[in-house]
Chain A
Amino acid sequence: AQRVTQPEKLLSVFKGAPVELKCNYSYSGSPELFWYVQYSRQRLQLLLRHISRESIKGFTADLNKGETSFHLKKPFAQEEDSAMYYCALGSGGGADGLTFGKGTHLIIQP
């Protein structure tokens, strides 16, 4: 069975500090991993997907198959990064829906 674990419900860091949001997954096949962000009262927005290996808004995430992790990182947090972050797992190919983690509420303190 697919599973996504985000161990931190809430993460509070100061502006300018590094941020790491943890995500571990369980999947027997070849996974497709995503990070979505949800700002207050807005829809889910795609932040990153492991296939593209992009850096969006200063965030990066590397898929580590050995550790089955896809942690989200940013070297210097900004106040506008405060939001809900969801890690999600797809089976690849796009024919199946996503399995979401419970989400991490990131708060950036001034």
Chain B
Amino acid sequence: GAVVSQHPSRVICKSGTSVKIECRSLDFQATTMFWYRQFPKQSLMLMATSNEGSKATYEQGVEKDKFLINHASLTLSTLTVTSAHPEDSSFYICSAREYGQGYTFGSGTRLTVV
């Protein structure tokens, strides 16, 4: 079945620095990938839709300059959290969908900003 790989699984960074998270579709091509955020004991919230070769579409309330998304190829999307602050600490999850199938999720990245 479809597999989505997400890296790193855990990252700790200093306040003010930037962090990049990678999401790869391993055995299928994904023109569209999705980025979610999950706060502790809460559900997933869609942050943005990443489109290969074009600009990402952000959900209302998500700062596009804070969360930079690049979808440079059919198998890779990256989310960069810029100038991270403690309130950006969260669990970030990516997802992609193989044609005709359900959405497949990565294993998530636990970001801690200190």
Binding site for B on A (CB under 8 A): 34, 36, 42-46, 49, 86, 88, 90, 94-103
Are B105 and A43 closer than 8 Å at their CB atoms?
yes
Contact-residue bracket for chain B: 20 to 34
A-B contact count (CB 8 A): 46
| A-B contacts, 7 listed (Cβ < 8 Å) | A43-B107, A86-B43, A97-B49, A98-B34, A98-B46, A101-B43, A102-B43
Binding site for A on B (CB under 8 A): 32, 34, 36, 42-46, 49, 93, 95, 97, 99, 102-108
Complex CA–CA separation, A46 to B96 (angstroms): 12
Closest to B99 in A: A94
Known contacts being A95-B32, A97-B36, is A46 close to B103, with CB within 8 Å?
yes
Nearest-CB distance from A34 to chain B (Å)?
6
Are B32 and A86 closer than 8 Å at their CB atoms?
no
Are B43 and A44 closer than 8 Å at their CB atoms?
no
Known contacts being A100-B43, A101-B43, is A46 close to B49, with CB within 8 Å?
no
Are A100 and B32 closer than 8 Å at their CB atoms?
no
Complex CA–CA separation, A42 to B99 (angstroms): 24
Complex CA–CA separation, A103 to B38 (angstroms): 12
Complex CA–CA separation, A46 to B98 (angstroms): 13
Most A-side CB within 10 Å, residue of B36, B44, B46, B102? B102
Are A34 and B102 closer than 8 Å at their CB atoms?
yes
Are A46 and B42 closer than 8 Å at their CB atoms?
no
